[in-house]
Structure 1
């Protein structure tokens, strides 16, 4: 298909491609508050949803980049809490997303997952949902592979690099948080889709840069006129 509108879909993982019940935010908040003994105000916490988790920890602690010992300790605690949560209640693919991956890849569109998680969390998570690079997806980009996570554009640029896509006008970014959408805007991509399967409602996401607000990332092919994914066994 030579006239496809995009060459790459760069998708967030938790809340966008995978349903993990919000375990990430419970683990993050509890790790920080257990360390400081002080509740994190909701408005401050919400600003860091969708961001790289190490950056979020540093901000929530009020720590500087030099406070690596404190940040490291809380990051280890957060990682352990989240992996425990995922073992107790395994995450599952968003309904229809695997069919969407298949349709996109059949039409020559690369599917790259990009996340605020580290590789330590992302590897087991992807294994739990049964996805493999080269089969369901084309690549996975984690926050510890870039200098700054969302809302910086580097996760998206790295996804483009992995997919050998050079034109931001041929990229769609999708995510469930304001920081996902801001990263898409900062990258200058053509399509930015907010999805309603995660942390925020439509009215909140509509205040951010976007071209689409979708009930789910599984609706991306229809939104772009690529057809409806067939249900596969």
Structure 2
């Protein structure tokens, strides 16, 4: 006799797993990008902000490698050094990048407006707060301490070099949060991120995904610059970010973490109907 076991999770959300820069801290995601610009500038190779943002969400070594593979950046490196950027060169840039990132991460990592209230609302519902990042552990330890002083202490913080399997766009950091937070079903988790690799991470882990358009890498403005725009200008800047995040597979896209509680309510309603990510 053949038996088939079927189980469909219909409870409420148990955990939300946040990215860091552009999601909970650092409106516009400037800490990773500007420091990469500074690091490559130290090697005499100019990188523009728009270029630095293209691989955002990847582990930082992979981010540098991806920049070096971009045709326009590769041409500048070739012109400077007479050869293509090697993995050894990536190692050297990464070694220069690391102390700069540790020194400067706090300068950019103010809490995004509405983040603390949104997280408090989640905790009031019994939702656990996880996190992961493209930052390596040495940067994460610095950032976690800074964020704690500013009122944010997630229940779990996974860095991109914590796991042998690697980082985004794979599911491993998100799934490590599931393990450490003791969540019983990935369908009870939401991954919140401002980048395409971060959305891919959540989808690969079998989670609900929420993309953040205005606060993150895709729009790339400070909070002051964003709120200074007219509604028409905001709509123009938001639209391509929303399209890109939905194209990556995000289940929902909102401006910032401040808009998350309403999304959480909608996901809970869909779970109650037996829907899965």
**TM norm. shorter chain > 0.5:** yes
- Name the structure with the higher helix share: 2
**What residue ranges of structure 2 are gaps of 5+ in the alignment?**
1-9, 70-84, 219-240, 267-277
Report the CA distance shift for 1:41/1:141 in structure 2 as closer, same or farther (over 3 A).
same
Aligned to 1:220: 260
Q: In the alignment, does 2:103 pair up with 1:84?
A: yes
C-alpha contact 1:50 1:177 (8 A) present in aligned 2: yes
CA distance in 2, matches of 1:90, 1:198: 13
Deviation at 1:33, TM superposition (A): 4.8
**What residue ranges of structure 1 are gaps of 5+ in the alignment?**
227-233
Deviation at 1:151, TM superposition (A): 0.8
Q: How many residues align?
A: 217
CA distance in 1, matches of 2:149, 2:243: 32
After the TM superposition, which segments of 4 or more aligned residues of structure 1 sit over 6 Å from their partners? 41-44
Coordinate RMSD, CA, aligned: 2.7
C-alpha contact 2:167 2:173 (8 A) present in aligned 1: yes
Deviation at 1:91, TM superposition (A): 1.9
Aligned to 2:73: none
User: Equivalent residue of 1:210, what SS?
Assistant: coil
Aligned to 1:14: 21
Aligned to 1:73: 92
C-alpha contact 1:9 1:171 (8 A) present in aligned 2: yes
Aligned to 1:34: 42
In structure 2, which of residues 147, 159, 166 is the aligned counterpart of residue 142 of structure 1?
A: 159
Deviation at 1:44, TM superposition (A): 6.5
Report the CA distance shift for 1:90/1:208 in structure 2 as closer, same or farther (over 3 A).
closer
C-alpha contact 1:102 1:136 (8 A) present in aligned 2: no
- Name the structure with the higher strand share: 1
Based on CA coordinates, which of the two structures has the bigger radius of gyration? 2
TM-score (norm 1): 0.81
CA distance in 2, matches of 1:46, 1:199: 7
